[in-house]
Structure 1
Amino acid sequence: MSTVGTNTAGTGTGTGTVDLTVESPRGRLYWTVADCLNVVRRELTHYRRQPSYIAWQLGFPIISVLLYGYVFGGAMKPPGGENGGNYRDFLMPGMFVMTMAFGLMNTATTVVNDATKGVIDRFRSMPMAPSAVVAGRGVTDLVVACAELTILAATAVVMGWRSDAGIAAALGAFGLLVLLRFSLIWIGVFLGLLIPNPEAAGGLYAVVFPFTMISSIFVPTASMPGWLGAVAAWNPISSTGTAARELFGYEMPGGGSGWIEQHAVLMAVVWPLALTAVFLPLAVRRFQRLSR
C-alpha cells in the first residue's frame, strides 16, 4: 500500500514538476487512486489463488440459469412478447438481475471475513485514504460482476436465448445491470462493517432471498395478488428486470400495469443512484468511525 502520509514526490517548486504531496488536492487524489488500485490488485489476487472460490461464485449463477430454465421453463407461461410467452426469454433478464442482487451477500461476507481476520485493522493502521479501501472493494466487485454477466450471457445464448432489440439496446441493458450491482455493493460494504462475524453474515440470506423473490424476476407482477404485486413492482430490482426485458426486446402486454413499470428504464437508473447516494457515504463513514 502507498504511504500517503510520508510521500513527498514532487514539490511543485521546479519547472514541470507536479505536486503529489498529500497536502495538495492533486496529491490526495493521486494517492487515493493508487491506494484503491492496490486494494483491487490484492482482492483479485485472492481469486487467482483460490480457484474453488471462483468456481462457486461464477458457477452458482450458471447452475441457477440451467435449473430455472430447464426445470421450470416448460411449466411457466408468461404473457406477451413476439416469442409467444417463451419463459426463457422472460427469465434470462431476471436471472441476470438475481445474480447482481445476490452479489450483495458476497460483498458483505468478504468484508466481514476481512474484518475478523484483522485485514481491516491493518488497513486502518496504515496511512491510507478510507475512501480508497471502500472504493477498492467496489471496483473489485464490479470486475467480478462483469465476469459473471459475461458467463451468464454465454450460457443463455447456448440455451437459445437471444436479444431481439439490437446491440446498442443490449449493451444498455447490461449497463443497467452493472449499475444495480454498483449500488448494492455499498449496501454490502456497509452491512459487512456492521455485522460482527461471518456466522451472522449468513443471516443476510433471510433478507436478500425474499427481496429477490417478491419481484418480477421470475413471474410478472400482474400474476400476484394486488397488494403483493404493488410491493413487487416498487422493488428496485423489479425496475431493473423490467427495463432489461424491454431493452432486450421482450414485450409485455400493455407495457406494464402501473406507472413504475411503464417507466422501468427511468427507474432502473433512479433507484441505483438513490441507493448509492445513501449507502456509499454511510459505508465510508462507518469505515472512518472504525479507524478512530
Structure 2
Amino acid sequence: MSAVTDAVQITAPSNPVSQSIRDSLVVAKRNLIRMSRIPEMVIFGLIQPIMFVVLFSYVFGGSMMIGGSTSSTDYRNFLMAGIFAQTVTFATAGAGAGIADDMHKGLIDRFRSLPMARGAVLTGRTLADLVQTALTLLVLAVVALLVGWRVGSDGDTNAAKVLGAFGLLLLAGYAFTWIGALIGLSVRTPEAATSGGLIWLFPVTFISNAFVDSSNMTPWLRHIADWNPFSATVQACRVLFANPGQSTSDAWPMQHSVWASVIYSVLIILIFRTLAVRKYRSATA
C-alpha cells in the first residue's frame, strides 16, 4: 500500500505555476554554476563596460557640451546613466549566444524531453543572466564612483531613488534578454547569435540620449531618440540619480520617463517571452 501511495504522489500533477517556478530556479542554478566554473565569461563581461566608462569619460569628456557646459565632470555625470543602460542591454548578446550554444549541443532537446514547464528553460536562463547583469552593474558603479561620478550632482536625490534607478536598469536588462533568447532560438550557431544580438543594439543605443543630448540632433532623429525605449530608461535614471542632462523634450516618454521605462520593459517581456516560448516549443537543434 505504501509503495502504491508513493507512486501516486510521484505521478500526481503538481500546480503548474509552482512547477514552472521550481523548474525555472533549477535551470537558473544550473546556469549560475556553469558561469562560476567559467570565470572568464564574467571577467570579459566586466571589461567592456569599464572600457566604455574610461574612454568616454577621458577621451570625450572635455569635448561634449551638457547644459551649456563643457566640464568633463558634468559630462561624466551625464554619461553614467547611458553607460549603465548600455551595459544591461548588451547582455542580450550573451543570452542569445548561450541559448544558441545549448541548441547547437543538443541540450535544449534534452530539456524538451523532460517533464518540465515549457518556459522554464528560457526563464531560468534569463534569470541567471539577470544575476550576472546585477553583478556587472555593481562593479561598474564602483568604477564610476572612482572616476568621479556622483549622484545628486544636479539636484536632490535619496537612497530609495538611487535603488529605484538600478531596479529600472535591471528590469530593462531582463526585458532585453528575452529578445536575445528569441534570437538565440532563431539562429543555428552561437556566432550568429552573437552577431545578431549586437547588430541591432548599436542603433538602439546610439540613436538615443545615452551619450549626447538629443536636443542637438536633427528634428526627425530627435523624435526617434525621444521615443526610443532605451532613452526612457536612461532619462529615468538621470532623474532618479539627479544627474545633469534631464530632457526638456515634450515627448511623453521624456516627461514621464520612469513610467515609460516600466511600461516599455513590461511590454517587451510580454511580447518577446511569448514569442520565445512559442519558438522553443517548435525549435529543433
For residues 198 and 142 of structure 1, do their structure 2 counterparts lie closer, same or farther at Cα, with a shift above 3 Å needed?
same
Q: 1:241 aligns with which of 234, 238, 249?
A: 234
Which residue of 1 is the match for residue 131 of structure 2? 143
Which residue of 1 is the match for residue 278 of structure 2? 285
Query: Partners of 1:85 and 1:33 in 2: how far apart?
Result: 45
Count of residues paired in the alignment = 275
Which residue of 1 is the match for residue 158 of structure 2? 166
* Aligned positions of 1:122-141 closer than 5 A: 122-141=110-129
The amino acid across from 2:280 in the alignment is: F
Query: Partners of 1:236 and 1:9 in 2: how far apart?
Result: 51
The range that moved more, 233-242 or 194-203, is 194-203
The answer to whether the 8 Å contact 1:79/1:85 transfers is no
Q: 1:206 aligns with which of 199, 205, 208?
A: 199
| Aligned-residue CA RMSD (Å) | 2.3
For residues 9 and 130 of structure 1, do their structure 2 counterparts lie closer, same or farther at Cα, with a shift above 3 Å needed?
farther
SS of equivalent to 2:209: coil
Q: 1:178 aligns with which of 147, 170, 178?
A: 170
The answer to whether the 8 Å contact 1:193/1:287 transfers is yes
The answer to whether the 8 Å contact 1:215/1:237 transfers is yes
Q: 1:115 aligns with which of 96, 103, 106?
A: 103
Query: Partners of 2:244 and 2:60 in 1: how far apart?
Result: 21
The answer to whether the 8 Å contact 2:184/2:190 transfers is no
Alpha-carbon offset, residue 9 of structure 1: 6.5
Which residue of 1 is the match for residue 243 of structure 2? 250
Instruction: Provide TM-score, normalisation by structure 1.
Output: 0.87
Alpha-carbon offset, residue 254 of structure 1: 6.8
For residues 224 and 33 of structure 1, do their structure 2 counterparts lie closer, same or farther at Cα, with a shift above 3 Å needed?
same
The runs of 5 or more residues in structure 1 that have no matched partner are 1-7, 12-18
The amino acid across from 1:180 in the alignment is: A
Alpha-carbon offset, residue 274 of structure 1: 1.0
For residues 9 and 161 of structure 1, do their structure 2 counterparts lie closer, same or farther at Cα, with a shift above 3 Å needed?
farther
Alpha-carbon offset, residue 251 of structure 1: 4.5
Query: Partners of 2:148 and 2:220 in 1: how far apart?
Result: 35
SS of equivalent to 1:216: coil
Structure 1 residues 155-206: Cα deviation after superposition (integer angstroms, max 9, x where no partner): 1111111111111110111111011011111111111101121232243222
Q: Percent identity?
A: 38
SS of equivalent to 1:61: helix
Alpha-carbon offset, residue 207 of structure 1: 1.4
For residues 202 and 143 of structure 1, do their structure 2 counterparts lie closer, same or farther at Cα, with a shift above 3 Å needed?
closer
Does 2:16 match 1:23? no
Query: Partners of 2:122 and 2:247 in 1: how far apart?
Result: 43
Query: Partners of 1:69 and 1:45 in 2: how far apart?
Result: 35
Which residue of 2 is the match for residue 37 of structure 1? 25
The answer to whether the 8 Å contact 2:64/2:75 transfers is yes
For residues 116 and 169 of structure 1, do their structure 2 counterparts lie closer, same or farther at Cα, with a shift above 3 Å needed?
same
Structure 1 residues 230-269: Cα deviation after superposition (integer angstroms, max 9, x where no partner): 1111110000001100110024477334333111111111
Which residue of 1 is the match for residue 51 of structure 2? 63
The amino acid across from 1:124 in the alignment is: R
Does 2:91 match 1:103? yes
The amino acid across from 1:54 in the alignment is: V
SS of equivalent to 1:211: helix
SS of equivalent to 2:67: coil
Q: 2:75 aligns with which of 87, 90, 93?
A: 87
Query: Partners of 1:22 and 1:287 in 2: how far apart?
Result: 26
Does 2:181 match 1:189? yes
SS of equivalent to 2:65: coil
SS of equivalent to 1:255: coil
The answer to whether the 8 Å contact 1:80/1:252 transfers is no
